Amino acid sequence: SSTSCYHNYSPDKKGKTTASVYMRKGAGTSYGTITTVPKGKSLTIYGYMEAPGINWYKVGYGGKTGYIRRDYIKVID
């Protein structure tokens, strides 16, 4: 199916970027970029968006909230 579905983590999870990666305004590459998160940075994972083909984490970093592709984040706990 082509529907997206958001899942919230409770409590939040912690993660680290495995590459320098764009944080986007929505769960998809068509959305604008909020900021670039360098490799190895810690961030908060609020949940994830199931989208066709690629899942996206909703994350907080540097006072901003946005979406990063799941395959660029390693969950710490």
Q: What residue ranges do the domains of the chain occupy?
A: 5-75
28: phi then psi, degrees, rounded to nearest 5: 170, 150
Three-state SS letters, 25-76: CCCCCCCCEEEEECCCCEEEEEEEEECCCCEEEEEEECCEEEEEEHHHEEEC
Tokens of residue 37, six digits: 């998160």
Predicted structure pTM score: 0.90
What's the CATH fold of domain 5-75?
Answer: SH3 type barrels. (2.30.30)
pLDDT tens, position by position, 14-66: 999 999 999 999 999 999 999 999 999 999 999 999 877 789 999 999 999 99
Q: How far apart are CA 7 and CA 2, in angstroms?
A: 16
